[in-house]
C-alpha cells in the first residue's frame, strides 16, 4: 500500500484520493507523505519487527532440540514425559539460560514448531482382543442373566 502511495505522491494526487485508492484513512496517507518527503521511498519500506531479542540464539535452540529428542529419561527424569518445568530445567542445564514457563512454551511452539501432546489415559496392560471377546461373549450372557 505504501509503495503504491509513493507512486501516487509522485503523480501529485491528493491525500484524500490516495486514501480512497489504497483503502486506508487520510491520516495514514498524511503520515506516509511526511515520511516520504523527509526520507524518500526507502523510508516507507517495511522494517524488521522491533522488540526484545530472544534469550536463545538459533544454535542454542538447536542444542535444546537435540537434548529434548533424547527423551526425558536420558536427562534423569523418572518417566519419559516432558513438562514445561522439565524442559526449562534442561534448557538451563544445556545453555545456562533460565526461562519462565511462558517462555518455555513459546520456545517449544514457535521455534521448533512442536505442539502439545497429551498421553492417552489407558492402562499399559490393556488387551484389545480380550476386551472384544468379553464384549461379544461375556457381556450378553451377564445382561441376560441380570433379571
pTM value?
Answer: 0.52
What is the Cα–Cα distance from 132 to 130, expressed in whole angstroms?
A: 5
Query: For cell 518417566, what's the residue?
Result: 79
pLDDT at residue 103, as a whole number: 93
Of 29-33, 114-118, 143-147, the range with the lowest mean pLDDT is 143-147
Q: What is the Cα–Cα distance from 36 to 43, expressed in whole angstroms?
A: 6
Q: What is the pLDDT of residue 36?
A: 85
Q: What is the average pLDDT value for the chain, to the nearest integer? A: 88
Q: Which domain holds residue 17?
A: 2-44
- Residue 114 and residue 106 in contact, taking contact as beta carbons nearer than 8 Å: no
- On the question of pLDDT at 87 being above 80, the answer is yes
Task: With respect to residue 132, please indicate whether it lies within any of the assigned structural domains.
Answer: no
C-alpha distances in angstroms, 33 versus 10, 16, 23?
A: 10, 12, 15
Residues 63 and 95 grouped into a single domain: yes
Q: Residue 93 has what pLDDT?
A: 95
Q: At 129, phi and psi to the nearest 5?
A: -65, -35
Q: What is the pLDDT of residue 122?
A: 79
What mean pLDDT do residues 71-78 have?
Answer: 93
Q: Report the range of poorest mean pLDDT among 5-9, 86-90, 143-147.
A: 143-147
Give the residue among 24, 114, 102 at the shortest CA–CA distance from 61: 114
**Whether residues 106 and 66 fall in one domain:** yes
Residue 131 domain flag? no
The verdict on residue 98 lying in a domain is yes
Q: Are residues 97 and 64 in the same domain?
A: yes
Share of the chain above pLDDT 90, in %: 41
Residues 65 and 104 in one domain: yes
Q: Does residue 127 belong to any structural domain of this protein?
A: no
50 domain-assigned: no
Query: What does the pLDDT read at residue 64?
Result: 93
Total structural domains within the chain: 2
Same domain for 106 and 64 = yes
106 and 63 both lie in a single domain? yes
Average pLDDT over residues 28-36: 89
Looking at the fold, whether 79 and 40 belong to one and the same domain comes out as no
Tell whether 121 is covered by a domain.
no
- Could you tell me if residue 133 is inside a domain? no
Burial (Cβ within 10 Å: 0-12, 13-18, ≥19) of residue 5:
buried
Same domain, 37 and 74: no
147 pLDDT above the threshold of 60: no
147 is a domain residue = no
Amino acid at each position: 500500500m505504501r509503495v503504491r502511495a509513493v507512486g501516487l505522491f509522485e503523480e501529485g494526487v491528493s491525500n484524500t484520493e490516495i486514501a480512497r485508492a489504497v483503502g486506508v484513512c487520510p491520516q495514514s496517507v498524511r503520515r506516509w507523505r511526511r515520511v516520504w518527503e523527509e526520507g524518500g521511498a526507502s523510508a516507507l519500506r517495511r522494517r524488521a519487527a522491533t522488540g526484545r531479542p530472544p534469550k536463545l540464539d538459533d544454535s542454542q535452540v538447536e542444542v535444546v532440540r537435540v537434548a529434548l529428542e533424547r527423551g526425558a529419561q536420558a536427562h534423569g527424569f523418572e518417566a519419559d514425559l516432558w513438562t514445561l518445568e522439565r524442559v526449562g530445567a534442561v534448557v538451563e542445564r544445556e545453555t545456562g539460560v533460565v526461562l519462565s514457563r511462558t517462555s518455555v512454551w513459546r520456545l517449544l511452539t514457535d521455534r521448533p514448531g512442536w505442539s502439545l501432546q497429551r498421553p492417552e489415559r489407558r492402562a499399559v496392560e490393556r488387551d484389545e482382543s480380550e476386551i472384544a471377546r468379553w464384549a461379544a461373549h461375556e457381556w450378553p450372557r451377564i445382561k441376560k442373566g441380570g433379571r
